[in-house]
Amino acid sequence: MITFSGTVKRYPNGFEALRGVTLTIEKGEMVAITGHSGAGKSTLLKLAAGIELASQGSVLVSNQNLSQIREAGLAVLRQNLGMVFQDHKLLFDRSVFENVSLPLSIAAFPRAEVGKRVRAALDKVGLLNREKAQPITLSGGEQQRLCIARAIVNRPAILIADEPTGNLDQAYAATIMDLFKSFNQVGVTVLLSTHDEIGLARLNCRRIHLDQGKLVV
Amino acid sequence: MIDSWLSAHLQAAKRALKRLVATPVASLLSVLVIGVAIMLPLGLYSVFANITAAASRLNTEPNVNVYLQVAATDAEAKETEKRLKALPNANDVRFISREVALAEMRRVANMTDLLAGLESNPLPHAFLIKPKSAEPSALDGMRKEIAALPKVDTVVMDFEWAKKLKRFAIFAERIVVLLGLVLALAVVFVTGNTIRLQILTQKDEIEVSRLIGATKRFIRRPFLYYGACQGFLAGVVAILAMTALITWASAEVQALTVSYASDFAIKYLSPLQILAVIGIGTILGWLGGFLSVSLYLRVYTSR
């Protein structure tokens, strides 16, 4: 489903965030990327989402080489990916409902379907009663769950999450990890980066460790 | 498929209207600036269209008017007519008797009361000559020959200014087109700049939308509607202001033309012209939005 082949990511200042990573993530698999800050975890996830391009080697997602994909193709690919960002990337001038419905608006879903899917996603993350609230009024954990609701509302085949429990206390982190586990159990491929050892123990999934841009076996 | 497409456009249009209403003062100022930019060439067009219409009513054919002395008799007029017809540059010579001239004056100038008070006809016999050649040298020679004839009082050749006016109207029309193009660019830039400011306030939304799969077309769409809305409203403002201006000017011009016994009146914009102005305003606003957001997407957004 996701394949990195000799992938190198070099930034314009010469810094190599990834150094020849070769890795395959199978369909329906759940993989956790671990490593210290600056090890290349976020870069790896950005490459998988097509946010960054590989400097060398290739990244294939659903058999599409992201270095060669056109703008429209990349947009369609992203519509089928669920992205959970470390900094949430929520729109604070819109309600909870509107934030979650954004991917559906982009994919031009009919209005009736939008309502159903948004409420189902909010229900899944336990925010159904907050649909009219503004994101600024939510706690950190709730904002993270809102971000997850937005990522799953399109019912994506792949879920990519960058430090989804980064700023949360243990109780909240456990809830979030349980959510990812439940998505994976229904066949969603999950790729996430984390520092959270306790959370990882709950996930019981394949772990990949990165150190200075290299895979450590 | 059509339902989704329509729904996407409706959503974009709604979003654009919301943005327009969310900042009423800024939106109003932008619409007024664009409206003035549209109104300038429109006003000039209106002025010159009316001048052209007035010029087209003027006789620019080279006619020569010959007025005899008031004391000239009918027999002397006949003699003069013969001599005028014998002139080498005379193509057609028409005699206008003093009686015909008086009757014409009564009809056109509506001066019945004034003329009724006269004891005798004050108008002279006259001739209207159409020359063969309109060359200045030929006409000048002709004037001298006519002026030398006995009983001739005045020779008038007053078509040159009308010709100049017509030439000026054509020149002015070109200036209006040029100015229209320059101000159309101004409309595009003003709209583009307003939308650039809108883009900056929506930067986060654009970035998030791109990350979760929005195409450039999807991101561009509400800004295009926003620009088109501004252009449409500016077109309406320009039309309303122009109509008010024409109404005001009409009253002034009418007072002037009555004293000259003319039925000339300033023309209002036709329904087709109104539609064209609003349509062009909408298209220019759309274009401004397109250029602004395309430039932003090309320069600032990541992949």
Which chain A residues touch B301 with a CB distance below 8 Å? none
A113 to chain B, closest Cα gap in Å: 11
Give yes or no for a contact between B61 and B159, defined as CB atoms under 8 angstroms apart: yes
> Can you name the residues that pair with A59 across neighbouring β-strands?
A4
Which of these, B242, B209, B226, lies nearest to B285 by C-alpha position?
B226
Give the distance, in angstroms, between the CA of residue A41 and the centroid of all CA atoms in the same chain. Answer: 12
Report the pLDDT value the prediction gives residue B111, as an integer from 0 to 100. 66
Q: How many structural domains does chain B have?
A: 2
Say if residue B111 is in the same domain as residue B201.
Answer: no
Question: Residue B151 maps to which CATH number?
Answer: 3.30.70.3040
pLDDT at B261: 58
**ipTM of the prediction greater than 0.90, yes or no:** no
The two structure tokens encoding residue A100:
């979650």
> What pLDDT sits at residue B103?
84
Q: Which one of B158, B191, B224 terminates a domain?
A: B158
Long-range contact pairs involving B166-174 (C-beta distance under 8 Å, separation at least 24): B166/B55, B166/B56, B166/B58, B166/B60, B168/B51, B169/B48, B169/B51, B169/B52, B169/B55, B172/B44, B172/B48, B172/B51, B173/B48, B173/B52
Residue A86's identity, in one-letter code, is Q
Predicted local distance difference test score (pLDDT) of residue B106: 77
Region of poorest pLDDT, from A119-133, A136-150, B107-121: B107-121
**Number of separate helices (H) and strands (E) present in chain B:** 10, 4
pLDDT score at B260: 63
Residues B84 and B135 placed together within one structural domain of the fold = yes
Q: What is the spatial distance between Cα B36 and Cα B45, in angstroms, rounded to a whole number?
A: 14
Name the residue range of residue B21's domain: 2-58+163-301
Q: Is B303 on the interface with A (CB under 8 A)?
A: yes
* Whole-number average pLDDT of chain A: 90
Chain A residues whose beta carbon lies within 8 Å of the beta carbon of residue B215? 71-72, 75, 106
Q: Are B174 and B90 found together in one domain?
A: no
Domain end residue (candidates: B93, B128, B158): B158
What distance in Å separates residue B8's CA from the closest CA in chain A? 6
pLDDT of residue B1: 59
Do B72 and B37 share a structural domain?
no
Report d(CA B168, CA B51) in Å as an integer.
9
- For residues A77 and A48, the answer to whether their CB atoms sit within 8 Å is no
Q: Which helix (H) or strand (E) holds B169?
A: helix B160-201
pLDDT of residue B303: 54
pLDDT over threshold 90, residue A8: yes
Same domain, B41 and B181: yes
| Residues B176 and B151 placed together within one structural domain of the fold | no
CA B14 – CA A58 distance, rounded (Å)? 41
**What's residue A195's pLDDT?**
83
Based on the fold, state whether residues B122 and B259 are members of the same structural domain: no
Radius of gyration of chain B (CA): 32
For residue A7, the cross-strand partners are: A21
CA of A215: how far to CAs of A48, A59, A118, A212, B236, in Å? 16, 15, 38, 9, 64
Q: CA-nearest residue of chain B to A75?
A: B213
- Shared domain for B53 and B77, answered yes or no, is no
Query: What residue in A sits closest to B5 (Cα-Cα)?
Result: A108
pLDDT surpassing 60 at residue A120: yes
Across the interface, of B8, B212, B302, the residue whose CB is closest to A108 is: B8
Q: What pLDDT score does B259 carry?
A: 62
Mutate to test the interface with B, among A53, A105, A159 (most CBs of B within 10 A): A105
Is the Cβ–Cβ distance between A193 and A161 less than 8 Å? yes
pLDDT for the residue numbered B110 = 63
pLDDT of residue A166: 79
Q: Which residue has the higher pLDDT, B87 or A111?
A: B87
- Alpha-carbon torsion (A55, A159, A77, B296), positive or negative: negative
Helix or strand holding residue B232 (H, E):
helix B216-259
Coil, strand, or helix at residue A67? coil
Q: How far is B172 from chain A (nearest CA, A)?
A: 49
Q: Give how far the C-alpha of residue B27 lies from the chain's centroid of Cα atoms, to the nearest Å.
A: 30
Q: pLDDT digits over B181-208, tens only?
A: 888 888 888 888 888 888 888 888 888 9
Check pLDDT > 70 for residue A116: yes
pLDDT tens for chain B, 303 residues long, are: 566 677 778 888 888 888 888 888 888 988 998 898 888 888 888 887 787 777 666 666 678 899 999 889 999 999 999 999 999 989 899 999 988 988 887 776 666 666 777 778 888 999 999 888 877 778 888 889 999 999 999 998 866 666 677 777 778 778 878 888 888 888 888 888 888 888 888 888 888 998 888 888 888 999 999 999 999 999 999 999 999 988 888 887 777 776 665 666 778 888 999 999 999 999 999 999 999 999 888 876 555
| B76, B153: one domain | yes
Nearest-angstrom CA–CA distance, B293 and B300? 10
* Statement to judge: residues B180 and B31 lie in one domain: yes
**Can you give the pLDDT at residue B4?**
67
pLDDT of residue A169: 78
What does the pLDDT read at residue B49? Answer: 79
Average pLDDT over residues A120-139: 92
Cα angle at A43 between A38 and A48, to 5 degrees?
155
**β-bridge pairing B126-131 and B64-68:** antiparallel
Question: What one-letter code names the amino acid at A38?
Answer: G
- Give the DSSP letter of residue B267: P
β-pair partners for A193: A33, A162
Q: Which own/partner pairs from B47-55 qualify as long-range (CB within 8 Å, at least 24 positions apart)? A: B48/B169, B48/B172, B48/B173, B48/B176, B49/B267, B50/B266, B50/B267, B51/B165, B51/B168, B51/B169, B51/B172, B52/B169, B52/B173, B53/B264, B53/B267, B54/B264, B55/B162, B55/B165, B55/B166, B55/B169
Does residue B106 sit at the A interface (CB-CB below 8 Å)?
no
**Residue in B11, B205, B211 closest to A83 by CB:** B211
Q: Of B139, B158, B177, which marks where a domain is finished?
A: B158
Q: Read off the pTM.
A: 0.69
- Nearest-angstrom CA–CA distance, A62 and B194: 41
Asked if the C-beta of A128 comes within 8 angstroms of chain B's C-beta atoms, the answer is: no
B134 at A interface, C-beta within 8 A:
no
Mean pLDDT of chain B: 84
Judged by CB atoms closer than 8 Å, whether chains meet at B302 and A51 is answered as: yes
Shortest alpha-carbon distance between residue A100 and chain B (Å): 11
Residue A159 pLDDT greater than 90, yes or no: yes
- Residues of chain A contacting residue B303, judged by C-beta atoms under 8 Å apart: 50-53, 74
Do residues B202 and B291 both lie within one domain?
yes
If asked whether residues B183 and B285 sit together in one domain, one would say yes
